[in-house]
Amino acid sequence: MAIILNGNELSARKREQIAQETRVFAAQHGRAPGLAVILVGDDPASSIYVRTKKNDCTQVGIRSFDHHLPEHTEAEEVLSLIKTLNADGEVDGILVQLPLPAHIDTQEVLLTIDPAKDVDGFHPYNMGRLLVGEPTILPCTPSGVMYMLREHSVEIKGKDAVIVGRSNIVGKPMALLLMMEHATVTICHSRTRNLDQKIAAADIVVAAIGKAEMIKGEWIKEGAVVIDVGMNRTEAGLKGDVSFEAAREHASYITPVPGGVGPMTRAMLLENTLVAARGHQKNRAAKT
C-alpha cells in the first residue's frame, strides 16, 4: 500500500516558511511583497482559483491587487493594464488567470508581462531559461511536484519517468525538471499509442491529461511513484486523472486528489512572488 504524499501538510509547512520570510522582507524594505491577479470574465472554476490564491496571499502577508475585467474586454485593454502593472513599484508579481476568453491572444498577453514579474513562469523568456537548464522562475505545478518528491527523498536519478500531458503549464516544464534531475523522460499525450504499456514501464508517473480516472490502477508498476495533477469535476466529486484506490495498491508513493498537488501549486506561487519581490528590490538598489 502506497504512502500518501500529503499536499495539505507539505504545503502548510512551506507556507509557514514563506510567511516568516515575508515578515523579514517587509521589515527590511518597509513594504510587503505584492501580487497583481488579473481575471478576465466569470469562468466559475477560474473565479474560485483566483479567490483561493488571494486568500493564500493574505495568509502569508503578501498583498494582492485584484483586477477583475469583464468577459468582453478588448485585448488592448488587458495589455495596457499589464504594462501599467509592469511599471508599478508596489507590484512584484503579475498573474493572468488562464484560460483567457477566445478573442484574446494568450501568448501575446504572456509576452507582455515583465519576465521578472512572471510568477507563473509562463513567459517564453522564463520557459526558455528552463529549457537551456538555467531556470529563473519555475512554473508552480511542476515546481510543487519536485518539492514533494524532494521532501520525501524520492530518488529520481536514472529512473524512467512517464508524463501524461504535453501542456506548457505542466507537461513540458515537468519533463525538463525531471530531466535536470537525471530521469529518463517520456512524454505521452492524447495520441500516444499503448499508453498502458508505457505507464507499466514507469518508475515515476505524472498524470496531467485532464480526464477523470483515465489512468487505471492496474497499469501502475509495483513500487512506482504516482503524481496526479488532474482536477476533474465529476458527478462523484473532484477526481484526479488516476484511478486512486486501485493505483495505491501498486504504488510506493501517491498523491491524492484533492489534497495532493493542488495545495503545493498554490504554495509555490507564493514562493515565486517572494522571490520576484527580492529580485525587484535588488534591481531598485542597483539603480540608486
Beta-strand ranges (E) seen in 14-166 are 34-40, 63-69, 93-96, 160-164
Nearer to ligand GUN, 22 or 143 (CB): 143
Largest Cα–Cα separation, the chain? 61
What residues are labeled active site? Answer: 53, 97, 120
Quote the least distance from Cβ 26 to ligand GUN, whole Å: 25
Going residue by residue from 114 to 143, which x/- string records binding to ligand GUN, judged by CB under 6 A?
------x-------------------x---
Give residue 258's Cα distance to chain centre.
15
> Strands 232-234, 237-239: parallel, antiparallel or unpaired by DSSP?
antiparallel
Q: Is residue 273 involved in binding ligand GUN (CB under 6 A)?
A: no
Find cell 488562464 and name the residue: 98
Site for ligand GUN in 84-103 (CB under 6 A): 95-98
Nearer to ligand GUN, 137 or 224 (CB): 137
- What's the CA gap between 230 and 9, in Å, rounded? 19
Nearer to ligand GUN, 37 or 156 (CB): 37
Q: Is residue 169 involved in binding ligand GUN (CB under 6 A)?
A: yes
Quote the least distance from Cβ 169 to ligand GUN, whole Å: 6
User: Could you tell me which residues come within 8 angstroms of residue 49 by beta carbon, excluding any fewer than 6 positions away?
Assistant: 97
Site for ligand GUN in 226-255 (CB under 6 A): none
Site for ligand GUN in 171-210 (CB under 6 A): none
Decide: helix, strand or coil at residue 69.
Answer: strand
Asked if 40 and 34 count as a contact pair (C-beta separation under 8 A), the reply is: no
Find cell 491572444 and name the residue: 105
Asked if 116 and 84 count as a contact pair (C-beta separation under 8 A), the reply is: no
Quote the least distance from Cβ 272 to ligand GUN, whole Å: 11
Quote the least distance from Cβ 157 to ligand GUN, whole Å: 27
Where do contacts with ligand GUN occur on this chain (CB under 6 A)? Answer: 95-98, 120, 140, 169
